[in-house]
Amino acid sequence: QVQAVESGGALVQAGGSLRLSCVASKYIVNWNCWGWFRQRPGKEREQVATIFGGGDSTSYADSVKGRFTISQVNANDTVYLLMNKLTPDDTAIYYCAANSFFTGAQCSQFRGINRWGQGTQVIVSP
């Protein structure tokens, strides 16, 4: 089954902001680690940010630190990714995924799942 449904992607100018949403399916609402991932054109999918325990800890890729913020609402129901100061290098398809781990440190190493959803397209124009 699809874990979650992503939305919020759009075409935006460099320097702009977007907020992506990820709504969990009923099958995974109790999982404690959520991650946003992206696949840029011609590159492999990479982790962007993770959140553990509803917000107990978060982690970010170096390329987005200080610009992106991951957050969670309603205890495992919806996860957001607020993206500020976007650059053309942020152009990608963004995906979310979930898993269960014992610690935030383990969650920060979350590399993804086997079956991804559709993702949401973000295009940043110069």
Q: Is the pLDDT of residue 74 over 90?
A: no
Q: Is the pLDDT of residue 10 over 70?
A: yes
At 15-36, the pLDDT tens digits run: 999 999 998 877 776 789 999 9
Say if residues 44 and 61 touch (Cβ distance below 8 Å): no
- What sign has the CA pseudo-torsion 10, 14, 17, 19? positive
Residue predicted with more confidence, 80 or 115? 80
Percent of the chain, pLDDT > 90?
Answer: 75
